Structure formats: structure tokens, C-alpha cells
Amino acid sequence: MADETARTRITVAPGGPYIVEGVSGLTGADGQPVPPQPRMALCRCGQSANKPFCDGAHSAHEFTGATAPHVATSKTRLYRSQELTVSYNRAICAHAAACVTGLPAVFDMNAQPWIQPDNAEAEAVIDTVRSCPSGALSYSIEGETPTERPTPTSITVQPHGPLAVSGPADIVGIQRADGASGTKCTLCRCGASGSIPFCDGSHATCGFQDPAT
């Protein structure tokens, strides 16, 4: 197991994989733990025959994987209630819909505005925001974001979807979008995202599949 005191580093190799160092846990797409190595290369082009690991397929497929410039320059929208403020950054949203299914009274794509935090108790809103895997949602109370207890960083390979990173991690060479969480993100591994290196839900429409288990 990696040293849990070391901060995780994720390097987005140009035209290549994610080089992950210092992660404490790795869970495969089948839900089973995978022994993490001190340094791992995880596929982000979607073509590896050894997912989630890189097998060099990016070279044969001429994968470029250039970072989307709008990710770093995007702005966070604020939705205020009497008790708290919910922040949303569309550029890093994986469209997993955990908020919409978890608390539809507050998160409703058919409403204007689509986030109405006054429609539920503050604790319910906070719990739903915390369930957001991409870190696109966050919250503050009276302008202050509560400090949460740090946890060892782990990566979960979501079935036919992104890499869900939970815990503090430095994404080397990538400027986080305005309002982006520093302890949570979802990284594209289908190669089709318009918000590379972050997932934008494109895996659901591009036919990306994990090998049968």
C-alpha cells in the first residue's frame, strides 16, 4: 500500500496515460480492490486491452488528449438560500446525476434556476452536494466552506465510466477550474470528453465499455 501521508500526484502525460503516484487504494470496475503500486499508468485513451491500466494503445490510435482550455477559465455559478450557498461548475461536471436523483426538489433540470437550495433542509442539500463525484458541486455557509477531515486518496474505476478520485490530489500541469474541489474529481478514460482531462459524461454516448468480467 502507498504511504498514506504522501500527497497523491496525477500527471496527465501528453498523448498518453495518467501517471498516478501515491494513491492509497484502487478499486476496479468490477468493484474489487486492486493492489495499488507506488507508480501506475492508467489508460485515458479508452483503447487499452488491459483497462484500467495503459498498454500503449494510445500510440497506435494517435491519441492526443489535449487539455480543454475552457476547463481552467470557466466560472462557477452560485445558488443562494437563507442558510447556505451551492456552487456549480459545469466545466468539470460528469453528469452522473447523483444530485438530480438524490434530491430532485432542489436539483431539477426542468426548473429555473435548476438549483433551488431553499426547497429542502440545509443538511439534505449538503449531503447531496457531498455525493457529487466530480466536485462540480460545493457549498459554503456564510461565505465559508467547512473544512472536512482529510482522508487518504483513492481511485475508483467506475464501470464503463471515469476514474473517480476521492481525497487530495495534485493534477500536475492542470489548472483547476474556478470553484473546483481539491479533494474530488472524475477523470475521463474514454478519450472522448470535451473537458479533458475531466469527464463530461461522453462515455455514455461514445460506446465506451470495460472488458467483460
Task: Check if CATH label 2.60.120.650 holds for domain 70-140.
Answer: no
Residue by residue, pLDDT tens for the chain (213 residues) are: 444 446 899 999 999 999 999 999 999 999 999 999 999 999 999 999 999 999 999 999 999 999 999 998 898 999 999 999 999 999 999 999 999 999 999 999 999 999 999 999 999 999 999 999 999 999 999 877 776 677 899 999 999 999 999 999 999 988 888 777 888 999 999 999 999 999 999 999 999 999 875
Measured distance between the N- and C-terminal CA atoms of the chain, rounded to whole angstroms: 24
pLDDT of residue 72: 87
* Among 131, 140, 146, residue whose Cα is nearest residue 184: 131
The three-point CA angle 117-119-121 to 5° equals: 80
Q: Where are the domains of the chain?
A: 8-67+150-204, 70-140
CA–CA gap between residue 134 and residue 149 (Å, rounded)? 18
* pTM, entire model: 0.91
